[in-house]
């Protein structure tokens, strides 16, 4: 054995080689090892290339051409499908289209699985869980003597089935609301259809062990259990656990080196074809034949997305057909078939509602925003129509995006208002922060007419807000300030301001600075609070807007029957909380009666004894079980708290006289305030931004209004921040104010120096280096002289400096990363200029300065001494920067390959002659104690 001291893997191991190892390996051994390594790498490369071609080429290409063949409608295209699969015509575009088709089929599959989980978790609709609508099987959840009420989430909940059965021995247990929304009989599927008595089936429902379907009848009340059964073939047609045994992503995609993924590719292509047939081909042709039968095809022929409209029409027809099949199966007592048809209808209904909520509603808002803002840009409907016909999909996407942004900010504003006003004021708007809110469960359980009414009311409310906040201010500005509009939406070619520089300045400086202003939310919240205070003082609605701590419900006394009280109707907000255009359905309730004896009427949280029992069953349960078993009443109370339903977010308030007139005045003030706010937002930022740019550029040169608005908004925010700081300092006294000003001046001076170095000098040098290395050689011919735009170079350098900073932060630990992290942790207020300049600015500037100066000195000082030809000299001066870059890259790549060859040499030597590794302790004491025992030498570890 011969230890090799110079060939250690790390500091704690010696590599022990065989004694017959030569000093240098033979060339034949090195070549054979090199060939084996190259062959192994080539095999892996071929395998991964096959995987990439299969998943990124074959699968999308097959999906696209099958989709095209099916929708061509000719027999010849279907017969020529195998030949067209191998055609290379438009193969790139077909692959891109196929990726979209595969993505849609994958989304459809994931959506079906997720919807199945939602149904298993929350149960299906009420009409789907009823076994026999005429009373055979489960009892009617509304009770035998109860008529179907209108859908109203008022204070009086539905009677549970046990209480409705009329059991005299049943104790008065508290009413526990169902966790999911209670749905009445859906108008599209009527579960109360009388079909006639069926004694044999009723006997089977009573004795489930005697018949084959009796177990299903007995399990009708357990939707999850019925769906999870494997024998029914509804959701589990095969043993999925065994099918996916030992299946990983590497094995599925073929990244483990095996060829099993080819089978998976075949199944994916087959499933894609099946999904295209089921979810695209059949609905399209059903809708096509329906429109042709009713002679409505002419209404869809002018649209650019005719196929999408026809497919949606086909889905509507399929939904109505499923309703009819469900009713027919219910009449014929085919329970399982009726359940399958009902589940298919739920799937179609949820899919259509998702399309309406996610695609249609934002797109309608976006188009209404565009129509109401035509006066701002001096455009007409004819211009918008022409742009739509030129690029329809782009127009649809832009309007959908604008509508989505508007809906998002509107919802954020509503959430901010909820933090200020009394719970229950915004009863007509959906509370997105409610943990019990589940839109998919509402789509499953609530009838389709309820969703359509909610959609219409949502469109009306959002349209009204857009009209008030966009159309009216634009008309007012156009009439009062005719020279202020229109907004400039195109860059003037004669402008000296570079378009790229302005876009990058907007994206990298202004918008991040505005986004990082976390105090903007506080300012907006304080403004809302001040406005509500003012309105509450004007209209005497403080109790209504903020609540009244004195207006609390009287303490309940469950031991004694409640005394009769005058009937006071609850507020419609309390009776239909979380309802309205984008909430649950609202049923108009009577307003509380006017009381002449007092100026204000207290609206209690629980208006009457019956509602008190229904709203809060826990005290009633404790009262009932106080004498017998109080623990049982406590358990019922806890269950009622966990499964409560109704207006949980509601506080009592004092109702003043002439309450409707005060609310009408409040609504008028809301409209006027929104109008004034919109006018200020349209005027102030743009005017300030125009004044700023008038200093930087020449007169009579218009700038894109997005830049002026963003710059003006930034300046306004800075001024507001400064004013708030000064006002807060004046409250502390002039001495403290002088200290604060002195401190801020010092911090501002240090921050200004740091910003000049980090935001000005370094990005300018970086951008200029990129310009002379990459852009000028590609953009300017050799026979022309380049012109440098430092503003553009700075903007380009700012973008790439930010990208480089992110890459350095994500990379390994080295001096530049440590300096950047320390500067980030210190912040602008605690910046250390000496450390910043010595550890970050100087090294970076020295590197960039050398990269700029050395090629320039070589080309303009040394090259003229060697070269006499002027053309060669000019070409050298122009190409010196990219040539040196290529030379540096080649040298770096060569050094990297030499390191790899050395590692390959070591690998071949270790495979042939390595015996083992010996652990060595390098931290030996200089003089060991004389009585210390020498530790035994670690044994040689054979290589694995």
792: three-class secondary structure by DSSP: helix
Q: Is the CB of residue 708 less than 8 Å from the CB of residue 690?
A: yes
Treating both helix axes as pointing N-terminal to C-terminal, what angle do 261-276 and 91-122 enclose, rounded to 10 degrees? 80
123 — alpha (psi -120 to 50), left (phi > 0) or beta?
A: left
Those residues with Cβ within 8 angstroms of residue 405's Cβ, 6 or more apart along the chain or in another chain: none
Does the structure show a pLDDT above 80 at 666?
yes
Give the span between the Cα atoms of 646 and 656, in whole angstroms: 25
Q: Which helix (H) or strand (E) holds 97?
A: helix 91-122
566: which DSSP letter?
-
Q: Is the CB of residue 647 less than 8 Å from the CB of residue 424?
A: yes
The number of residues in the chain equals: 944
Instruction: Quote the Cα angle for 336-342-344, to 5°.
Output: 105
Q: Which residue has the higher pLDDT, 542 or 238?
A: 542
Task: Return the closest-CA partner of residue 182 out of 445, 557, 476, 552.
Answer: 445
pLDDT band at 2 (very low <50, low <70, confident <90, very high): very low
Task: Note the pLDDT tens digit of each residue in 384-403.
Answer: 999 888 888 899 999 999 99
pLDDT > 70 in the chain, percent: 69
Q: Give Dmax over CA atoms of the chain in angstroms.
A: 117
Does the structure show a pLDDT above 60 at 554?
no
Those residues with Cβ within 8 angstroms of residue 784's Cβ, 6 or more apart along the chain or in another chain: none
Instruction: Specify which residues 918 forms β-bridges with.
Output: 14
Give the span between the Cα atoms of 458 and 580, in whole angstroms: 8
Matching residue, tokens 């840009």: 377
525: three-class secondary structure by DSSP: helix
Task: Note the pLDDT tens digit of each residue in 183-228.
Answer: 444 444 444 444 444 433 333 333 334 333 433 433 434 444 444 4
pLDDT of residue 574: 37
Task: Return the closest-CA partner of residue 372 out of 465, 276, 471.
Answer: 471
Does the structure show a pLDDT above 70 at 153?
no
Average pLDDT of the residues in 80-85: 80
480: three-class secondary structure by DSSP: helix
pLDDT band at 927 (very low <50, low <70, confident <90, very high): low
Task: Note the pLDDT tens digit of each residue in 216-250.
Answer: 433 434 444 444 444 444 445 445 455 455 678 88
Burial of residue 924, with CB atoms counted within 10 A of its CB: 0-12 exposed, 13-18 middle, 19 or more buried:
exposed
pLDDT averaged over every residue in the chain: 75
194: three-class secondary structure by DSSP: coil
Give the span between the Cα atoms of 775 and 41, in whole angstroms: 37
pLDDT of residue 469: 93
Does the structure show a pLDDT above 50 at 265?
yes
Give the span between the Cα atoms of 872 and 463, in whole angstroms: 68
pLDDT of residue 502: 64
For 123-137, 564-578, 709-723, which range has the lowest pLDDT when averaged over its residues? Answer: 564-578
Domain boundaries of the chain, sorted by first residue:
38-128+254-281, 742-918
Does the structure show a pLDDT above 90 at 670?
yes
pLDDT band at 792 (very low <50, low <70, confident <90, very high): confident
Task: Note the pLDDT tens digit of each residue in 710-720.
Answer: 888 888 888 88
Q: What dihedral do alpha carbons 115, 120, 122, 125 form, nearest 10°?
A: 80
Tokens at 533, concatenated: 């205070």
Give the span between the Cα atoms of 480 and 484, in whole angstroms: 9
pLDDT band at 342 (very low <50, low <70, confident <90, very high): very high
Q: Where are the alpha helices (DSSP H) in 419-518?
A: 439-445, 448-466, 472-480, 499-505, 511-515
Q: Is the CB of residue 764 less than 8 Å from the CB of residue 796?
A: no
Instruction: Quote the Cα angle for 316-317-322, to 5°.
Output: 100
Q: Is the CB of residue 764 less than 8 Å from the CB of residue 799?
A: no
Q: Which residue has the higher pLDDT, 450 or 303?
A: 450
Q: Is the CB of residue 127 less than 8 Å from the CB of residue 342?
A: yes
Where b means 16+ CB within 10 Å and e means fewer, 241-280 reads eeeeeeeeeeeeebeeeeeebeebbeebbeebbebbeebb
Does the structure show a pLDDT above 50 at 562?
no
The shares of helix, strand and coil residues in the chain, as percent rounded to the nearest 5, are 65, 5, 35
914: which DSSP letter?
E
- For 411, other C-beta atoms within 10 Å of its C-beta total 14
pLDDT of residue 707: 80
pTM score > 0.75 for this model?
no
Q: Is the CB of residue 717 less than 8 Å from the CB of residue 520?
A: yes
Instruction: Quote the Cα angle for 599-603-606, to 5°.
Output: 155
- For 441, other C-beta atoms within 10 Å of its C-beta total 18
Average pLDDT of the residues in 348-361: 94
Does the structure show a pLDDT above 80 at 935?
no
Instruction: Quote the Cα angle for 909-912-917, to 5°.
Output: 75
Does the structure show a pLDDT above 70 at 934?
no
Q: Is the CB of residue 154 less than 8 Å from the CB of residue 576?
A: yes
- For 462, other C-beta atoms within 10 Å of its C-beta total 22
Give the span between the Cα atoms of 416 and 847, in whole angstroms: 49
For 34-48, 103-117, 388-402, 560-574, which range has the lowest pLDDT when averaged over its residues? Answer: 560-574
Give the span between the Cα atoms of 222 and 124, in whole angstroms: 10
pLDDT > 90 in the chain, percent: 32
Give the span between the Cα atoms of 873 and 864, in whole angstroms: 7
For 34-48, 318-332, 374-388, 792-806, which range has the lowest pLDDT when averaged over its residues? Answer: 792-806
Q: Is the CB of residue 577 less than 8 Å from the CB of residue 650?
A: yes
Burial of residue 671, with CB atoms counted within 10 A of its CB: 0-12 exposed, 13-18 middle, 19 or more buried:
middle
Instruction: Quote the Cα angle for 689-691-697, to 5°.
Output: 95
Matching residue, tokens 């086909």: 314
Does the structure show a pLDDT above 80 at 757?
yes
581: three-class secondary structure by DSSP: coil
Does the structure show a pLDDT above 80 at 97?
yes
Give the span between the Cα atoms of 60 and 272, in whole angstroms: 9
Does the structure show a pLDDT above 90 at 782?
no
Give the span between the Cα atoms of 154 and 151, in whole angstroms: 9
Average pLDDT of the residues in 571-600: 38
Average pLDDT of the residues in 809-832: 88
Task: Return the closest-CA partner of residue 805 out of 838, 766, 770.
Answer: 766
Whole-angstrom Cα Rg for the chain: 38
**Rounded to a whole number, what is the distance in angstroms from the first to the last CA of the chain?**
18
């Amino acid at each position: 054995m011969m230890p090799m001291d110079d060939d250690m893997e790390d500091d704690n191991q010696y590599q022990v080689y065989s004694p017959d190892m030569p000093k240098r390996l033979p060339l034949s051994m090195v070549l054979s090892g090199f060939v084996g390594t190259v062959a192994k790498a080539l095999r892996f490369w071929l395998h991964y290339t096959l995987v990439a071609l299969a998943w990124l080429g074959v699968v999308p290409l097959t999906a696209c051409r099958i989709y095209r063949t099916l929708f061509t409608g000719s027999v010849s295209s279907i017969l020529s499908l195998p030949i067209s699969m191998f055609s290379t015509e438009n193969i790139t575009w077909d692959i891109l289209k196929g990726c979209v088709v595969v993505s849609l089929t994958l989304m459809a599959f994931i959506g079906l699985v997720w919807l199945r989980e939602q149904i298993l978790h929350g149960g299906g609709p009420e009409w789907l869980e009823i076994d026999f609508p005429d009373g055979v099987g489960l009892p009617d959840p509304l009770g035998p003597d109860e008529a179907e009420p209108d859908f109203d989430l008022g204070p009086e909940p539905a009677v549970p089935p046990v209480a409705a059965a009329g059991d005299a021995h049943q104790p008065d247990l508290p009413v526990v609301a169902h966790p999911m929304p209670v749905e009445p009989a859906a108008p599209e599927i009527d579960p109360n259809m009388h079909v006639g008595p069926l004694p044999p089936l009723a006997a089977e429902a009573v004795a489930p062990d005697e018949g084959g379907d009796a177990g299903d009848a007995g399990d009708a009340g357990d939707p999850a259990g019925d769906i999870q059964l494997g024998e029914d073939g509804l959701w589990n047609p095969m043993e999925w656990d065994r099918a996916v045994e030992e299946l990983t992503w590497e094995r599925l995609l073929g990244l483990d080196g095996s060829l099993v993924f080819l089978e998976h590719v075949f199944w994916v292509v087959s499933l894609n074809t099946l999904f295209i047939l089921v979810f695209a081909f059949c609905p399209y042709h059903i809708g096509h034949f329906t429109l042709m039968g009713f002679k409505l095809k002419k209404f869809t022929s002018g649209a650019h997305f005719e196929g999408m409209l026809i497919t949606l029409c086909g889905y509507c027809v399929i939904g109505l057909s499923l309703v009819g099949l469900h009713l027919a199966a219910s009449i014929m007592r085919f329970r399982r078939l009726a359940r399958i048809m009902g589940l298919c209808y739920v799937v179609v209904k949820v899919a259509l509602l998702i399309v309406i909520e996610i695609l249609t509603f934002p797109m309608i808002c976006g188009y209404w925003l565009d129509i109401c803002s035509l006066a701002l840009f001096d455009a007409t409907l004819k211009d918008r129509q022409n742009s739509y016909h030129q690029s329809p999909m782009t127009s649809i996407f832009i309007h959908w995006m604008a509508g989505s942004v508007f809906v998002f900010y509107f919802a954020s504003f509503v959430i901010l208002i909820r933090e200020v006003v009394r719970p229950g004021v915004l009863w007509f708007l959906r509370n997105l922060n409610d943990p019990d809110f589940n839109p998919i469960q509402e789509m499953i359980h609530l009838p389709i007419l309820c969703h359509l009414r909610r959609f219409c009311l949502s469109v009306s409310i959002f349209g009204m807000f857009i009209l008030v906040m966009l159309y009216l201010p634009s008309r007012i500005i156009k009439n009062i300030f005719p020279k202020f509009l229109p907004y400039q939406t195109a860059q003037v070619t004669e402008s000296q301001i570079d378009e790229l520089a302005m876009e990058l300045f907007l994206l990298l400086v202004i918008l991040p600075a505005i986004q990082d202003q976390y105090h903007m939310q506080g300012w907006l919240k304080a403004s809302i609070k001040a406005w509500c205070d003012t309105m509450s003082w004007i209209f005497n609605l403080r109790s209504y807007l903020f609540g009244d701590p004195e207006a609390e419900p009287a303490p309940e006394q469950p031991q004694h029957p409640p005394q009769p009280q005058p009937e006071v109707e609850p507020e419609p907000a309390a009776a239909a909380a979380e309802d309205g255009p984008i909430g649950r359905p609202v049923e108009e309730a009577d307003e509380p009666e006017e009381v002449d004896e007092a100026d204000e009427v207290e609206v209690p949280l629980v208006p009457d004894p019956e509602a008190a029992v229904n709203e809060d069953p826990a005290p009633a349960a404790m009262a009932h079980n106080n004498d017998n078993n109080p623990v049982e009443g406590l358990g019922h109370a806890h269950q009622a708290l966990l499964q409560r339903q109704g207006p949980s977010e509601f506080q009592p308030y004092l109702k003043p006289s002439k309450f409707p007139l005060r609310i009408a005045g409040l609504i008028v003030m809301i409209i006027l305030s929104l109008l004034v706010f919109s006018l200020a937002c349209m005027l102030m930022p743009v005017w300030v931004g125009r004044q700023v740019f008038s200093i930087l550029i020449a007169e009579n040169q218009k700038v894109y209004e997005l830049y002026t608005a963003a710059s003006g908004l930034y300046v306004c925010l800075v001024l507001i921040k400064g004013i708030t700081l000064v006002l807060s300092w004046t409250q502390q006294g002039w001495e403290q104010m002088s200290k604060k000003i002195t401190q801020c001046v010092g911090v501002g001076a240090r921050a200004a120096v740091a910003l000049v170095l980090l935001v000005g000098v370094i990005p300018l040098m970086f951008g200029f280096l990129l310009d002379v290395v990459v852009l000028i050689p590609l953009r300017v011919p050799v026979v022309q002289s380049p012109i440098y735009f430092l503003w553009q170079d700075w903007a380009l350098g700012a973008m790439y400096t930010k990208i480089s900073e992110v890459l350095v932060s994500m990379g390994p630990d080295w001096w530049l990363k440590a300096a950047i992290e320390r500067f980030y942790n210190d912040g602008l207020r605690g910046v250390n200029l000496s450390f910043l300049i010595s550890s970050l600015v100087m090294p970076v500037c020295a590197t960039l300065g050398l990269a700029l100066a050395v090629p320039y000195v070589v080309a303009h000082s040394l090259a003229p001494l060697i070269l006499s030809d002027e053309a060669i000299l000019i070409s050298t001066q122009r190409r010196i920067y990219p040539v040196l870059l290529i030379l540096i890259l080649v040298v770096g790549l060569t050094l990297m390959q030499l390191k790899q060859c050395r590692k390959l040499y070591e690998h071949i030597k270790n495979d042939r002659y390595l015996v083992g590794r010996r652990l060595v302790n390098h931290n030996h004491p200089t003089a060991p104690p004389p009585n210390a025992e020498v530790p035994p030498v670690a044994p040689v570890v054979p290589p694995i």
